[in-house]
Amino acid sequence: MILEEILSSFMGIFTDYTLRYVALGSAILGITSGALGCFTVLRKQSLFGDAIAHAALPGIGFAYLFAGTKDSLFLMLGAAIFAWFGGMITLAITSTTRIKQDAALGITLSVFFGLGIVLLSYLQSIGGASQAGLDRFLFGQAAALIESDVINLGILSALCLTILILFYKEFKITTFDSSFGQSLGFPIKYLNALLTSVIVVAVVIGLHTVGVVLMVSMLIAPAAAARQWTSNLKNMIILSAIFGGLSGIIGSMISSTTEGMSTGPVIVITITAILGISFVFSPKQGYLFRYIRNQRKSQTSLDNIKTISNTEKENHGNI
């Protein structure tokens, strides 16, 4: 029954215009955040991704307040500026005060998010926000995506991925061994700023589909899942993009089967399921195969002990 619905919604990608754009937009997000999220995870900056995603919310409010339009380009620009600002404030706090990064991230995340909520509720009280559908940026509402949105997202995504491909070698060395990269003459500060900017763009892409609250999982989960299957950075990025894209498509299909079901949370649950499967079933690091290997190992050592004690018994018998 449910399977039938999902199947029909899968067919819907080819027949239903709305669903096609929803799925396409979600896939674009998944691919972009999946690929870039690898660096967030490897740099141990997952929380940084979370902070800049939350920091984007007031940007949407201000953009709407000042521009008075719900044109997605304006809103995305506002979101990007605030996300960037939030990221830079976090870095400034850690480098100029004695406050550690986790506390700095906590400060940025909650203050900006709080500001965003205040703005949205203010806009709601004057009767604009709900009309403009600004609240959908909290948890995302991919169902509202239209053709022009998807084209914008596609352009931004292509930009991010092009930068990633161009600077792959530089991003890799500065992520693995930044002081060595610096000694070779690569300008670490600029490269970090570039990478942060690209991640900001990925976050902005995600606002429509998963929203600011859940965005961080689109950065972390695909990368963490991909890492389970491979120990090669390039493969990890490709696999992570595939996982992200797949979860975008599957998630938007599932949510389209029930009226009013938010797309974002379903996409996040889908990618989490992929992560869970990877944790259990990946051949090298998965729990299942590790369990089997450990069982075998302990069985062999048990056998060895038995053989030894048997020989000892025989020897004693001889004596």
Partner 1 sequence: MDQKSSKNNSEVENEYSVIIKNLSVTYRTEPALWNIDLNFPKGKMIAIVGPNGAGKSTLVKAVMGLVPITAGKVSIFGKPYSKNRDKVAYVPQRGSVDWDFPTDALDVVEMGLYGKLGWFRRPNSKTRDLARECLDKVGLSNYADRQIGQLSGGQQQRVFLARALAQDAQIYLMDEPLNGVDVITEKTILSILENLKKEGKTIVMVHHELQTVDKYFDWVVMVNRNLIANGPIKEVFTKINLDRTYQEKQRISIQ
- Answer yes or no whether residue 77 interacts with partner 1 by CB under 8 A: no
Instruction: Write the CA distances from 213 to 6, 113, 181, 265, integer angstroms.
Output: 26, 9, 34, 10
* Contact mark string toward partner 1, 211..230, x via CB under 8 A: ----------------x--x
Exactly one of 182, 197, 257, 272 binds partner 1 (CB under 8 A); which one?
182
**Residue type at position 313:** K
Which of 8, 16, 18, 42: binder of partner 1 (CB under 8 A)? Answer: 42
Residue type, 68: G
Binding of partner 1 by 169 (CB under 8 A): yes
Of 176 and 291, the one with the shorter C-beta distance to partner 1 is 176
Q: Distances in Å between the alpha carbon of 163 and those of 42, 82, 203, 260? A: 18, 21, 16, 36
Q: Which is nearer to partner 1, 212 or 221 (CB)?
A: 221
Please, which residue, 293 or 313, has the CB nearer to partner 1? 293
Do residues 86 and 51 make contact, with C-beta atoms less than 8 angstroms apart?
yes
Nearest residue to 61 (alpha-carbon basis) of 48, 74, 50, 49: 74
Using CB under 8 A as the binding criterion, the count of chain residues that bind partner 1 stands at 27
- Site for partner 1 contains 177 (CB under 8 A): yes
Comparison of 182 and 257: residue with beta carbon closer to partner 1: 182
CB atoms within 10 A of CB 315: 9
Q: What φ, ψ does residue 172 adopt, rounded to 5°?
A: -65, -50
Considering the rule CB under 8 A, would residue 233 count as an interface residue with partner 1?
yes
The reply to whether 176 sits near partner 1 by the rule CB under 8 A is yes
Single out the residue of 121, 131, 148, 232 in contact with partner 1 (rule: CB under 8 A): 232
Asked if 181 is part of the footprint of partner 1 (rule: CB under 8 A), the reply reads yes
- The C-alpha angle with vertex 51 and arms to 145 and 154, in degrees rounded to 5, equals 30
Cβ proximity of 272 and 217 under 8 Å: yes
Establish if 170 lies at the interface with partner 1 (CB under 8 A).
yes
Q: Does 180 bind partner 1 (CB under 8 A)?
A: yes
Q: Which is nearer to partner 1, 12 or 181 (CB)?
A: 181
Work out whether 166 is an interface residue with partner 1 (CB under 8 A): yes
Place of tokens 């299942």: 288
Minimum distance, C-beta of residue 176 to partner 1, in the bound complex (Å): 5
Instruction: Kindly state whether residue 185 participates in binding partner 1, applying the rule CB under 8 A.
Output: yes
* Whether 246 contacts 274, CB under 8 Å: yes
Contact between 231 and partner 1 by CB under 8 A: the answer reads yes
175 is an interface residue for partner 1 by CB under 8 A = yes
Q: How far is CA 267 from CA 9, 23, 62, 223, in A?
A: 15, 10, 28, 15
260 binds partner 1 (CB under 8 A): no
Taking residue 213's Cβ as centre, other Cβ atoms within 10 Å add up to 19
Q: Under the rule (CB under 8 A), what is the footprint of partner 1?
A: 42, 44, 166-170, 172-173, 175-177, 179-186, 227, 230-233, 235-236
